[in-house]
Structure 1
Amino acid sequence: MLVSEFAQRFTKQVVAVATVIGGHSEPRDDFQGGIESIIRLNRDYPLETLEGIEEFSHLVVTWHFHQASPDDVSLHARSPRNNPLWPRTGTFVHRNHRRPNQLAISYPRILRREGHDLHVTDLDAIHGTPIIDLAPYFTDMGPRGEVREPAWPSEMLRKYWHSGTE
């Protein structure tokens, strides 16, 4: 089976479970912090599917870059944010909309729950973003052992979680 055939078959089975309401109005590279938004669970799901979620501080949210075009996909090595000071890295080393499935994972903080609405902060998706899946963050499911990474991600993301008013 070709990759494209698999992707077509897979995407027919994936449905958004929620939508982002409020928060950021447009994509941006930095200043993602301190913004509150709502993850509104589709009304097709009974309220009990969220029972107990408020006991957790953070979520694992899988979402789709819904404003990106398939033409944005970039299957080659390039410098992050096109900064020549950072090394060329491959498509699967970047965490942006240029990957084949244009999916992202975020870890917003839960502020409160009101019915089908999860009020969160520090979600770097924009208003209208389809949420593919959500789950509570379990510390014991996080990375095991020492985490290693080069210096450029920290340099690149230095202002990512700033509010923009600092």
Structure 2
Amino acid sequence: MIPYIFAAPSIIYISAVQICPIGTFYGDAVYKYDAPRQGRLFAGHPGRIVLNPGMNFETALRDLDGFERLWVIFQFHENAGWRPTTRPPVPPKGKDRVGTFASRSPYRPNPIGLSCVRLLKVEGLTLYVDEADLLNGTPVLDIKPYIPMADAFPDAKAGWVEDQERDLWNIETTPDFDERIQWLRENSPFDILSFVEIQLTRGPFDDTRRRLEIDETAKTGVLAYRTFRVDFSYDELSRKIVLTSLRSGYTPEELYSPEDKYGDKKIHNEFIEKFR
């Protein structure tokens, strides 16, 4: 019989063997679109792994602080079900979808992920990391050191990835956008600029993205981040995107309503008052 994995809130059962998470990852990425597709491509996505107490993990962490990178094995706790094929963010030429086992898709038969993060420091049972592509609250199943001598194969063939169309864009900002994003960074937990870089740097006009509206005639677009909206212009010839402004996604009527589903109307009203 082939073992089948199914998830419970705190334990994963594999036939008669049980796997218990050893800890939890905490970071700013709450929604799937907050996390970079590959953490290494976007530095500035820090977080921390807090290991469970009472398991003698303090001893297990001994000698780890000499490593620069770690393999983190984790559970895709927000996913349900799997798909035999997936559409890559940057598809290869002549293909729209590839097989799941030939991809890094999170929608897998067993909800297990693997990420190589940069270790910043270890304090007690807490590991501070960067370049993480995990969501806040992700159960961590295991940690292993990254060993370049054994883990790096820079000359290895990469299959269809070598045939990807490299749709890379440069991101620039205007003074107005800079002022608004700086105010929001200082007065809220939202990391909008990082989100924009994730969404627009590689293949920005992927038609599977639901948070993007494009006006091909005016060469402008609007990217939605939760209840905020980022306005931008773009030039296809130079592969350049200019972030022109940041604004609230609420209408005046919605802000006037006492309902506050996301608990963020206060910051929106202050933002609008600041930049009216």
Q: Deviations over 1:21-76 (max 9, x none)?
A: 22312212647521110011111322111011111001001111101112xx012x
* 1:21-60 aligned within 5 A: 21-28=26-33, 30=36, 32=39, 33=42, 34-46=44-56, 47-60=58-71
Partner of 2:14: 10
Deviations 1:51-105 (A, max 9, x none): 11111001001111101112xx012x34324969562311101212211112111
2-side partners of 1:116 and 1:52: how far apart?
A: 13
Structure 1 residue 122, shift from structure 2 partner:
0.8
Q: Normalising by structure 1, what TM-score?
A: 0.79
What 5-or-longer segments of structure 2 have no aligned partner? Answer: 6-12, 171-192, 198-276
Structure with the greater relative contact order (CA < 8 A, sep ≥ 6): 1 or 2?
1
Whole-angstrom CA distance in 1 between matches of 2:165 and 2:91:
14
RMSD across aligned C-alpha pairs, in angstroms?
A: 3.0
Distance 2:132 2:65 in 1: 16
Give the structure with the higher percent strand: 2
Is the aligned partner of 1:62 residue 2:70?
no
Of the candidates 125, 135, 140, which is equivalent to residue 131 of structure 1?
A: 140
After TM superposition, the score normalised by the length of structure 2 is 0.50
* SS of structure 1 residue aligned to 2:18: coil
SS of the aligned residue for 2:121 comes to strand
- The equivalent residue for 2:179 is none
Amino acid at match of 1:120: V
Q: Is the 8 A contact 1:96 1:102 kept in 2?
A: no
1:79 to 2:87 alignment: yes
Aligned length: 158
Q: Which runs of 5+ in 1 are unaligned?
A: none
Give yes or no for the alignment of 1:92 onto 2:101: yes
Partners in 1 of 2:134 and 2:117 — Cα distance? 10
Counterpart of 1:79, as a letter, is R
**CA gap 1:141/1:165 in 2 versus in 1, 3 angstroms:** same
CA separation of 1:132/1:156 partners in 2, compared to 1, >3 Å: closer, same or farther?
Answer: farther
- Classify 1:122/1:84 alpha carbon distance in 2 versus 1 (closer, same or farther; 3 Å): closer
Is structure 2 residue 113 aligned with structure 1 residue 116? no
Over the matched positions of the two proteins, sequence identity in percent amounts to 26
Judged with a 3 Å threshold, the aligned counterparts in structure 2 of structure 1 residues 90 and 41 are, in CA distance, closer, same or farther, namely same
